[in-house]
Structure 1
Amino acid sequence: MTTGPTPFEVHESGKLLHGTRADLAVGDLLVPGRISNYEENRVMNHVYVTATLDAAAWGAEMALGDGPARIYVVEPTGEIEDDPNVTDKKMPGNPTRSYRTREPVRVVGELEGWVGHTAEQLQSMRDGLAGLRERGEAVIYD
């Protein structure tokens, strides 16, 4: 049986990943100034990427939309920085290897055949996020 992603484990490719439900092609650019994958009507100032399959899978699985969850292999065109939403607030030291950039990020491939989280894990994450929203703590530092 194939298991889901392992938290904090860098993807075997060593490349950066981006999880979404958007249907993208090699060469497409992800750019700041677009609507968030996770919050309707919120324009994002950064593009977010990760080096772990686990974080990319969460990004893909939790993204809004009806399309399939997808993970793209990406290359930033400029500097990246640690994602303060994870590193400063939840996991000091950046074990999720999560980053953000104000520069475009180029799609260089799509990760095929990845295994995501279980239905129970997804429901637990949704419940946790709903609790944050109810308490007014669902803050994205963008």
Structure 2
Amino acid sequence: MTTAPTPFDVFQEGTYLHGTKAQLVPGELLTPGYASNFEDGRALRHIYITETLDAAAWGAELATGDGPGRIYVVEPTGPIENDPNVTDKRFPSNPTRSYRTLEAVRILSELKDWNGHTPEQIQAMRDGLADLRSRGENMIID
């Protein structure tokens, strides 16, 4: 991983990605109700997906757990909506192409050989998230 992904660049129009550390297999359904990667002790009602490699990489790199970050190509099984945690708070009109769904998403394949963020970028993001937590501003709208 030498070149970081470019923010807001759509990976492939109509292709949804999900970043995580979980090891999943094609055909498997990823369902809501798992622990949040960003808020300790909270199970989420939604599955979060994106059309940008940048957002998926952040999900993979910041996910809790052991092992490498993974990015999966996924297919929603139900309706999706804009992710209000990103679109309403930071990026009006959803340039990150970030979405969420109350329904499961089907794993189609694992994206291999993707380029992630630099260690310095990842640490800066972790530091920023820690700062938000310390100020009580890390609330996830779920």
TM-score normalised by the shorter chain: which range applies?
Answer: over 0.9
TM-score using structure 1 length? 0.96
Number of residue pairs matched by the alignment: 142
> Structure 2 counterpart of 1:102, which letter?
L
**2 CA distance for matches of 1:37 and 1:131?**
16
Structure 1 gap ranges (5+): none
Is contact 1:49-1:56 (8 Å) kept? yes
Q: CA deviation at 1:13?
A: 6.3
Percent identical among aligned pairs is 66
CA RMSD, Structure 1 to Structure 2 (Å): 1.3
For 2:76, the equivalent position in structure 1 comes to: 76
For 2:99, the equivalent position in structure 1 comes to: 99
**2 CA distance for matches of 1:8 and 1:141?**
22
For 1:11, the equivalent position in structure 2 comes to: 11
Q: CA deviation at 1:40?
A: 3.0
Deviations 1:60-92 (A, max 9, x none): 000001111000000000100000000011110
Structure 2 gap ranges (5+): none
Is contact 1:21-1:65 (8 Å) kept? yes
> Structure 2 counterpart of 1:78, which letter?
G
TM-score using structure 2 length? 0.96
**1 CA distance for matches of 2:140 and 2:103?**
19
1:1-142 correspondence to structure 2 within 5 Å:
2-12=2-12, 14-142=14-142
> Structure 2 counterpart of 1:109, which letter?
S
> Structure 1 counterpart of 2:91, which letter?
M
Deviations 1:94-131 (A, max 9, x none): 00000000011000000000010001101110110010
> Structure 1 counterpart of 2:5, which letter?
P
Is contact 1:82-1:94 (8 Å) kept? yes
